[in-house]
Amino acid sequence: MFVMLLSCFVLVLFVTNPGLTAPTFMPEEMSTPSPEAQLDLKLATDYLHQFYKLQKDNFLRIKRSEPSFISKVKEMQMFLGLNSTGVLDLETLEVMQSPRCGVPDVEEYSHIQGARWNKNVITYSIGRYTRDLRRSTVDSLIESAFGVWARASGLKFIRTHTRNADIMVEFVAKSHGDFYPFDGPRGTLAHAFGPGMGAGGDTHFDDDEHWTAGGTGFNLLLVAAHEFGHALGLRHSRNPESLMYPTYKSVRPTNLLSREDVANIKALYSPPRNHRNWLLRPLFPRLMQDKCSQDLTFDAVTTLGDATFFFRDRYLWIKHNEQSDIKEGPISNFMPTIETSIDAAFWIPRRSTAYLISESMFWTVKGSIVRGKPRSLSFFGFPSWVQEVDATVHVAKTGRTLFFMHDIYWSFNENRKVMDFGFPRSIINDFPGVNSTINAAFYKSDFLYFFVGPQVYKFDYSHKVVVGVETANSWLGC
Supply the residues annotated as catalytic.
227
The verdict on whether residue 57 carries a ligand-binding annotation is no
Contact criterion met (CB below 8 Å) for 69 and 76: no
The verdict on whether residue 430 carries a ligand-binding annotation is no
The verdict on whether residue 49 carries a ligand-binding annotation is no
Contact criterion met (CB below 8 Å) for 8 and 178: yes
* Helix then strand then coil, % of the chain, to nearest 5: 25, 25, 50
DSSP 377: G
Residue type, 16: T
The verdict on whether residue 325 carries a ligand-binding annotation is no
Half-sphere exposure of 211 (CA within 13 A, CB side): 27
The verdict on whether residue 191 carries a ligand-binding annotation is yes
The verdict on whether residue 40 carries a ligand-binding annotation is no
* Cβ atoms within 10 Å of 288's Cβ, excluding its own: 22
The verdict on whether residue 299 carries a ligand-binding annotation is yes
The verdict on whether residue 290 carries a ligand-binding annotation is no
Nearest to 62 by CA among 36, 97, 28: 28
The verdict on whether residue 204 carries a ligand-binding annotation is yes
Residue type, 138: V
The verdict on whether residue 208 carries a ligand-binding annotation is no
Could you give the CA distance from residue 282 to residue 286 in angstroms, rounded to a whole number? 8
Cα-Cα-Cα-Cα torsion 51, 57, 59, 61, nearest 10 degrees, comes to -130
Integer-rounded Cα radius of gyration of the chain: 25
The verdict on whether residue 202 carries a ligand-binding annotation is yes
The verdict on whether residue 460 carries a ligand-binding annotation is no
DSSP 59: G
The verdict on whether residue 390 carries a ligand-binding annotation is no
Quick one: which H or E segment has residue 90? helix 90-96
The verdict on whether residue 230 carries a ligand-binding annotation is yes
DSSP 473: G
The verdict on whether residue 468 carries a ligand-binding annotation is no
Q: At what angle do helices 67-79 and 35-52 cross, to 10 degrees?
A: 70
Q: Which residues are annotated as a binding site for Ca(2+)?
A: 132, 166, 183-184, 200, 202, 206-207, 209, 299, 343, 345
Residues annotated within the binding site are 101, 132, 166, 176, 178, 183-184, 191, 200, 202, 204, 206-207, 209, 226, 230, 236, 244, 299, 343, 345
> Residues within the annotated binding site for Zn(2+)?
101, 176, 178, 191, 204, 226, 230, 236, 244
